[in-house]
Copies of this chain bind each other. A is one copy, B any other.
Amino acid sequence: MATPLRILPLGGCGEIGKNMTAIEYGKNIIIVDAGIMFPENDMLGIDFIIPDWQTLRERKEQIRALIVTHGHEDHTGAVPYLLKELDVPVYTTRLTRGLLEVKLKQHKILDKVDLNTITAGDEINIGPFKLEFFRVAHSIPDCVGLGISTPAGLVVHTGDFKFDHTPVDGQTTDFAKLAEFGGRGVLALLSDSTNADRPGTTPSERVIDDAFDRVFRAAKGRIIVATFASLISRIQQVANAAMRYNRRLAIAGTSMLENTRMARKLGYLNFPDDLLIKLDEANRLPPRNIVIMATGTQGEPSSVLARVSKGQHNQIRINRGDTVIMSSHPIPGNEEMVHRTINRLYQRGAEVLYDPIDTVHVSGHASQEEQKLMLNLVKPQYFMPVHGELRHLHAHARLAREVGVESQNIFVVENGYPIEFNDGEARIGERVPGGYVYIDGSGVGDIGPTVLRERDQLGRDGFVMTIIHRDADTGELLNTPELITRGFVYQKEAEELLIEATNALLQTIDSNQQAGANTLEDKIKKVLGDYFYKETKRRPMILATIREL
């Protein structure tokens, strides 16, 4: 039997997954990307989620490289956590490296990390793998996909891509290389599924220039453009518009400012020094000569834009006549917070422009016609949709069937299911253990389902607590137990309810003098739980602490 090739999505598929894939041949593993995911609305208190690389930890000496395809959070956010655990050389492009360096410095591990710069067009050999990096267009410059030649065959991983013919940096997706792969014969294609439910073709980033032009020409007051801190090409577009319409540019938000500095230094942003001014300078210029860029397009409560929308930013205050451009789309799950931010900006007197009101943002991901073109260029024997929710992977699989990939050669798998290629045959392997790892404050992976269930109950209906002292021998009550509640009812107005509940409690204690503390506790929980449900249709957490003296 030949050595099998395994492709294992660890944060790459599944219900909410994104972007970490391990590719293994013999005792050699390379990892492509290590991104974060945003928590779902019922994962209370969780900041974000990183993939579970438990299965890699066990074989850490086999890991040869981490490849990072581009600089977005959903591909880089977990890199510091990964590198704190695993000592792996990183290969990535210049701009992505610059963005990673900013991040690794924040995590205080920059000097311990082995970073290597590659360029689209490069070929490098790592163990049994030959990696060929090729240019893809996305919504940030310097993105690559990769061809991975293995003894079992050629695997093509698109990274995040679109077929933008007029990208901001002029670097189109490398059609020729994709076609060349197709000619050579591709064992498996892993392709970006994010927009697999969108018909047609994603518009070029270039259409945003026209929208900015319209807005900059018409706006009489200040313009505030909100976007992601890593959306380098958008910063260039805003700078271009600012120069055309005689506005100076101020940037609010540390990470965007740091990214801008870095990208200018590396030559990924081109504009004269005097375009950029500080926020306090901006406040001294006439409104029609200012454009401010800020983070916070996802409505994150602590972001610049959210604070501006609530009147809580100490340097930016919305005035009537200001125009705010939301140059991003809400990440699924963030819609409500984004819309609330927009509503609040309106409340303060701003005009707010967002897609679909005007084309001030386009997706960075391929739509169906582009995905089909990718499939037809690469002509893979096997197809594995990646990046996106399960519904997107299935939609992408449907497209692959339409363009002629055989049904049995299409693998839609969730996180942790490897695809194994052996002697030209492919099958789904056994699931590796693992799940999501929650980041909450400074805790990495210490929050699990128990704590989340408690938070869910506490968040929904609060709690009721009582402390009971009883005689260890006779079981007689020694105190007057009170009921303390938080998050359940407004205690001042619920006196009657709580008096009735206390009576039920006293009765329970009275009729259970002989019962052990645990039994009494259970009875109290049941009696109070039932009583409160009957009266309020709510189910607060009940805590009874019994002390025997």
| Chain B, residue nearest A447 (CB) | B490
A226-259 CB contact bits vs B (8 Å, 1 = yes)? 0000000000000000000000000000000000
Q: Which residues of B contact A484 (CB under 8 A)?
A: 543, 545
Q: How many copies of this chain does the complex contain?
A: 2
Q: Are A541 and B486 in contact (CB under 8 A)?
A: yes
**CB of A458, distance to nearest CB on chain B (Å):** 4
| A455 interface residue per 8 A CB criterion | yes
The stretch that binds B, out of A91-99, A100-108, A122-130, A436-444, is A436-444
The stretch that binds B, out of A311-319, A337-345, A513-521, is A337-345
Q: Are A356 and B45 in contact (CB under 8 A)?
A: no
The stretch that binds B, out of A28-36, A152-160, A388-396, is A388-396
The stretch that binds B, out of A169-177, A373-381, A462-470, is A462-470
Q: Are B446 and A339 in contact (CB under 8 A)?
A: no
Q: Are A441 and B45 in contact (CB under 8 A)?
A: no
Chain A binding site: helix, strand, loop or mixed by DSSP?
Answer: mixed
| A333 interface residue per 8 A CB criterion | yes
Residues of A451-509 whose CB lies within 8 A of B: 451, 454-463, 465, 467, 479, 484, 486-490, 493-494
Q: Are B538 and A440 in contact (CB under 8 A)?
A: yes
Q: How far is the CA of A545 from the CA of B482 in the complex (A)?
A: 11
| A83 interface residue per 8 A CB criterion | no
Q: Which residues of B contact A448 (CB under 8 A)?
A: 490
| A262 interface residue per 8 A CB criterion | no
Q: Are A339 and B332 in contact (CB under 8 A)?
A: yes
A513-537 CB contact bits vs B (8 Å, 1 = yes)? 0000000000000000000000111
| Chain B, residue nearest A341 (CB) | B391
Q: Which residues of B contact A460 (CB under 8 A)?
A: 44-45, 455, 459
| A347 interface residue per 8 A CB criterion | yes
| A15 interface residue per 8 A CB criterion | yes
Q: How far is the CA of A198 from the CA of B354 in the complex (A)?
A: 11
| Chain B, residue nearest A532 (CB) | B441
Interface residues on A, range: 35 or more
Residues of A189-206 whose CB lies within 8 A of B: 197-199
Q: How far is the CA of A442 from the CA of B497 in the complex (A)?
A: 13
| A336 interface residue per 8 A CB criterion | yes
Q: Are B340 and A487 in contact (CB under 8 A)?
A: no
| Chain B, residue nearest A389 (CB) | B343
Q: Which residues of B contact A352 (CB under 8 A)?
A: 391, 394
Q: Are B459 and A197 in contact (CB under 8 A)?
A: no
**CB of A387, distance to nearest CB on chain B (Å):** 14
Q: Are A451 and B442 in contact (CB under 8 A)?
A: no
| A357 interface residue per 8 A CB criterion | yes
Most buried by B among A332, A462, A543: A462
Q: Are B458 and A536 in contact (CB under 8 A)?
A: no
Q: How far is the CA of A450 from the CA of B398 in the complex (A)?
A: 50
| A510 interface residue per 8 A CB criterion | no
Q: Which residues of B contact A351 (CB under 8 A)?
A: 394
**CB of A310, distance to nearest CB on chain B (Å):** 12
| Chain B, residue nearest A442 (CB) | B537
Q: Which residues of B contact A391 (CB under 8 A)?
A: 339, 342-343, 346, 352
**CB of A306, distance to nearest CB on chain B (Å):** 13
Known: A199-B356, A335-B333. Is A446-B493 also a contact (CB below 8 A)? yes
| Chain B, residue nearest A412 (CB) | B346
Residues of A346-389 whose CB lies within 8 A of B: 346-347, 351-352, 354, 356-357, 389
Q: How far is the CA of A487 from the CA of B463 in the complex (A)?
A: 11
Residue from the list B332, B440, B494, B545 in contact with A336, Cβ < 8 A: B332
Q: Which residues of B contact A467 (CB under 8 A)?
A: 467, 545
Q: How far is the CA of A13 from the CA of B374 in the complex (A)?
A: 46
| A302 interface residue per 8 A CB criterion | no
Residue from the list B446, B462, B494 in contact with A458, Cβ < 8 A: B462
Residue from the list B335, B354, B487 in contact with A332, Cβ < 8 A: B335
**What are 9 A-B pairs with beta-carbon distances under 8 A?**
A45-B460, A332-B339, A339-B391, A443-B536, A451-B487, A454-B462, A455-B461, A455-B462, A457-B487
The 10 closest A-B pairs by CB, nearest first: A459-B459, A441-B537, A458-B458, A454-B487, A45-B460, A455-B487, A333-B336, A343-B390, A44-B459, A441-B538
17 extra interface residue pairs, beta carbon distance < 8 Å, beyond A45-B487, A441-B536:
A15-B343, A44-B459, A44-B487, A45-B459, A332-B339, A339-B389, A339-B391, A342-B390, A343-B390, A347-B414, A451-B490, A454-B462, A455-B462, A456-B459, A458-B459, A459-B459, A484-B543
Q: Taking beta carbons and an 8 Å cutoff, which residues of A are in contact with B? A: 15, 40-41, 44-45, 197-199, 332-333, 335-337, 339-340, 342-344, 346-347, 351-352, 354, 356-357, 389-391, 394-395, 414, 440-443, 446-448, 450-451, 454-463, 465, 467, 479, 484, 486-490, 493-494, 535-538, 541, 543, 545, 547
